[in-house]
Amino acid sequence: MDFKKLLEKDYIILDGAMGTMLQKMGLKLGGIPELLSITDPEKIISIHKSYIEAGSDIVYANTFGANRYKLKDCKYSVSEVIQASVKCAKKACEGTDTLTALDIGPIGQLLEPTGTLGFEDAYDIFKEQILTGSDADIIVLETMTDLYEVKAGLLAAKENSDKPVIVTMTFEENKRTFTGCCIPSMALTLEGLGADAIGVNCSLGPKELIPIIDELSKWTRLPIAVKPNAGLPDPVTNEYNVGADEFAEYIAEMNKYGINLVGGCCGTDPEYIKAAVKALSGLEPVKREKNIPSAICSPTSAVVIDQPRIIGERINPTGKRLFKEALKNKNIEYILGQAVEQIQGGAEILDINVGLPDIDEKEMMVKVIKAVQGIAETPLQIDSTDPAVLEAALRVYNGKPLVNSVNGEDESLEKILPLIKKYGAAVLGLTLDKNGIPKKADERFEIAKKIMNRALEYGISKENIFIDCLTLTASAEQEAVMETLDALERVKKELGLKTVLGVSNISFGLPNRGLINSTFLTMALTKGLDLPIINPNMEAMTGAVRAYRLLACHDKNSSDFIEHYGSDVHETTEKKDADYSLEYAIEKGLKEKAREITTALLEKHDAMEIINTMIIPALDKAGSDFETGRIFLPQLILSAGVAQEAFDVLKKSIASSNESSVEKGKIVLATVKGDVHDIGKNIVRVLLENYGYNVIDLGKDVAYEEVLRAVNENDCHLVGLSALMTTTLGSMADTIKLLRENNCDCKIMVGGAVLTPEYAEKIGADYYSKDAKQSVDIAKEVLG
């Protein structure tokens, strides 16, 4: 018997709880139940046997928590525990058709960005389990709440074995997991990554899981697995409140959603499995709809392409001096700012392009994707011409992305389509080939068709193939404009594919570009454009999409449109501000005002003068008010934030006028490895930037080597390290040690709640900074 054959059965019966059975036998809470496979194998075998007798086609070996992290202080190794456990299950299955599953539960630590466990570390933990459990027939990943962790596990399974993989995640009644993963995102991502069956287990009883199964059934073609708890537990006695017969009734009710694999989780025992078998025996399996919506997703948000959706184009260095500078300085904060601004403008997908000749594009791409996903729910379009960059990005992306792009050339198709298939992404095909962009719509259509057919051959389904018929500039090739739109229309109608178009190019070299862009956008939308790539910060562009959605009856009751424009009365309650000074704006925390005033000031003064005679004195005043207790920390930071706005205006002016930089010197900042508290460090960053220092902020939980590398690469002479916990002071000491061992020519300042001046000295720091204000004083001393 194998899994494929099993799937021919009406229903595959899984087993019930292992932990519940062991607790009934007197296992102490907190013990490691997996060890019983070594110390008391007969007990484990007898539990498996009782499920086999109840009708289980697959039993889960006693390996749920047998990972490197959970077995850290245990005298048995991962492989000893897993091999013993699989052996118990196999022994119980002897002489039957029942299959053994290697059962893998959550690692027990949260992954980055919320936690500190790296994606590749998680992958290694799973890989070890998968390799040592190779005697099992099937791999199961279950009780998962973090889509990123599941991705690491599923990739590890697919890359290190050829066994079928069943993945079940754990949802709360709000149809989300604890980390916010929604059902569509789970289904889109896991089906893409090649899971063989997906579903739900634990946390809720069968009744509460019905709406969850209902939704899941609309989002996947894969067999659906369900393992409910025996109802909900009493917090004190831990007794579950749904009996075996009631359990089975609900299972029968779920049948209408097309479930295929059925078992039980916490609180269930062989009686529940028997009852479920009985309840299903008279039923006909229900076939599900085979069409899945075209969509891409992050873990928490799926964007369905059932109406025009805006792709934000701004994360791209082409023609942007500040952006290029940010990439060279690895200034992730700047890029994140661009992401947030576009989302607030109305972007529903963000294009990510970080290609620049002098930088390591792969490394930067991975960094940016992780950072953007750490703060934004918006799904991403990964944009690179280098397959190695694309693969690295596809690996670490959490969810299902869109890849920009392939074209009609065989080489491009052969290199990139296998990656799309393997990582379950959607792909954007450009209608060009080695002869360039064809002039005529028909020729572009033919390339689109070729791309589609190739993608289908690779097993990429139609809803995941998008086509860009390519915009040419109207000033150069006026006749080509309609050709693009005609090609788009044909691709949409005749091939049934979703269409994408970069819009802004159309107006290049013409006056009033905004007018041309928004008109072209509207024309394209009526031809069937699904994904305009635009600058969402341009009101006319996002406005055109929103208006189109209203007029084309996508935006029902105009609710989205009214939400955005309904209260369109700009408030002018502020008093007349002719005599506001920049200093006043900084003191009172008036960001918008500071921006306006600075812009106005630039007409009469140069940037350095504004900095030295207005901003710095205002900041110094805020600093001394803070020291004397007239204001407290959030107010100091507020003033700093306003000064930052003024600086941004000045920086842009300097960037466009080629004046020399206002920056005084580089400072590397990091919250040390293992620590995730970064508020203090961020405050220090803001103040330092205010005083004109170029801060290279490495973020939180930063590896020692990364600090060293940043110091060397940037030829940096001041490093600030932060740690909040006593448990991470050791990391701070080790970071300093590494810097010293490598003879870095830099001073080190340290700060954080548990630090003392004595300890700072002991671990070899040059300065102890008691607060953010003091870090500025130190910077002045060291860098001037």
Partner 1 sequence: MANIESINIDEALRYMGYKDNIDIENIRDIICSCEKKLLSSAEPRYCYKIADIERSDKITVKNTDLMLAGKSISSHLAECQKVILLAATLSDKADKLISLMNVTDVTSALITDAMASAMTEQLCDIAEEEIRREHGIKHTTFRFSPGYGDFPIDIQRDFIKILSADKKIGLTANDSNILIPRKSVTAVIGISDKPLPQKKRGCAVCSMNKSCQYKKRGAHCGF
Candidates 130, 197, 416, 640; binder of partner 1 (CB under 8 A) is 640
Binding segment toward partner 1, per CB under 8 A, in 212-220, 309-317, 332-340, 349-357:
332-340
- 260 or 731: whose CB is closer to partner 1? 731
Candidates 24, 39, 178, 613; binder of partner 1 (CB under 8 A) is 178
What does DSSP assign to residue 728?
A: G
Number of residues that bind partner 1 (CB under 8 A): 65
Contact at 8 Å (CB) between 218 and 244?
A: no
Determine, following the binding rule CB under 8 A, whether residue 337 of this chain makes contact with partner 1: yes
Closest distance of CB 128 from partner 1, Å = 17
State the binding string over 365-384 for partner 1 (x if CB under 8 A, else -). ---------xxx--------
Rule CB under 8 A: which of 93-152 touch partner 1? 106, 108-110, 113-117, 143, 145
H or E element that contains 527 = helix 513-527
Candidates 588, 595, 605, 717; binder of partner 1 (CB under 8 A) is 588
For 382, the 3-state DSSP assignment is strand
Contact at 8 Å (CB) between 54 and 9?
A: no
State the binding string over 713-732 for partner 1 (x if CB under 8 A, else -). ------------xxxx--x-
Candidates 304, 552, 600, 754; binder of partner 1 (CB under 8 A) is 754
Q: How many C-beta atoms surround the C-beta of residue 612 within 10 A?
A: 12
Determine, following the binding rule CB under 8 A, whether residue 436 of this chain makes contact with partner 1: no
**Cα distance between residue 266 and residue 483, in whole Å:** 61
Contact at 8 Å (CB) between 506 and 516?
A: yes
For 660, the 3-state DSSP assignment is coil
Closest distance of CB 727 from partner 1, Å = 4
Determine, following the binding rule CB under 8 A, whether residue 682 of this chain makes contact with partner 1: yes
- 502 or 699: whose CB is closer to partner 1? 699
Closest distance of CB 706 from partner 1, Å = 17
Candidates 78, 82, 165, 202; binder of partner 1 (CB under 8 A) is 202
- 40 or 606: whose CB is closer to partner 1? 40
Determine, following the binding rule CB under 8 A, whether residue 241 of this chain makes contact with partner 1: no
Residue type, 377: E
| Phi, psi dihedrals of residue 222, rounded to the nearest 5° | -75, 160
Binding segment toward partner 1, per CB under 8 A, in 334-342, 357-365, 446-454, 560-568:
334-342
Closest distance of CB 453 from partner 1, Å = 42
Q: Which two tokens stand for residue 294?
A: 């075209």
What does DSSP assign to residue 283?
A: P
- 335 or 550: whose CB is closer to partner 1? 335
* Inter-axis angle of helices 41-54 and 78-93, nearest 10: 40
H or E element that contains 453 = helix 441-457
Candidates 456, 477, 679, 713; binder of partner 1 (CB under 8 A) is 679
Determine, following the binding rule CB under 8 A, whether residue 756 of this chain makes contact with partner 1: yes
Binding segment toward partner 1, per CB under 8 A, in 24-32, 316-324, 386-394, 659-667:
24-32
**Cα distance between residue 419 and residue 397, in whole Å:** 13
* Inter-axis angle of helices 387-396 and 410-423, nearest 10: 10
Q: How many C-beta atoms surround the C-beta of residue 241 within 10 A?
A: 13
- 298 or 431: whose CB is closer to partner 1? 298
Torsion angle (degrees, nearest 10) of CA 581, 584, 588, 590 = 20
Candidates 74, 322, 336, 703; binder of partner 1 (CB under 8 A) is 336
Candidates 683, 696, 733, 783; binder of partner 1 (CB under 8 A) is 683
Using DSSP bridges, classify how beta strands 380-383 and 349-352 pair: parallel, antiparallel or unpaired. Answer: parallel
For 304, the 3-state DSSP assignment is strand
The DSSP annotation for 577-631 comes to -TT--HHHHHHHT-HHHHHHHHHHHTTTS-HHHHIIIIIHHHHHHHHHHHHTTSS
Contact at 8 Å (CB) between 740 and 764?
A: yes
- 12 or 339: whose CB is closer to partner 1? 339
Closest distance of CB 348 from partner 1, Å = 17
Q: How many C-beta atoms surround the C-beta of residue 84 within 10 A?
A: 22
Closest distance of CB 756 from partner 1, Å = 5
Using DSSP bridges, classify how beta strands 302-304 and 295-297 pair: parallel, antiparallel or unpaired. Answer: antiparallel
> Among all chains, which residue has been given the structure tokens 């007798």?
53
Candidates 4, 28, 575, 576; binder of partner 1 (CB under 8 A) is 28
CA angle, corner 144, sides to 140 and 149, nearest 5? 95
Binding segment toward partner 1, per CB under 8 A, in 421-429, 460-468, 566-574, 669-677:
669-677
Half-sphere exposure of 645 (CA within 13 A, CB side): 20
Candidates 35, 209, 544, 638; binder of partner 1 (CB under 8 A) is 638
Closest distance of CB 103 from partner 1, Å = 15
Q: Interface with partner 1 by CB under 8 A: which residues?
A: 28-31, 106, 108-110, 113-117, 143, 145, 170, 178-180, 202-203, 235-236, 333, 336-337, 339-340, 374-376, 588-589, 629-635, 637-638, 640-641, 674-679, 682-683, 685-686, 725-728, 731, 753-756, 758-759
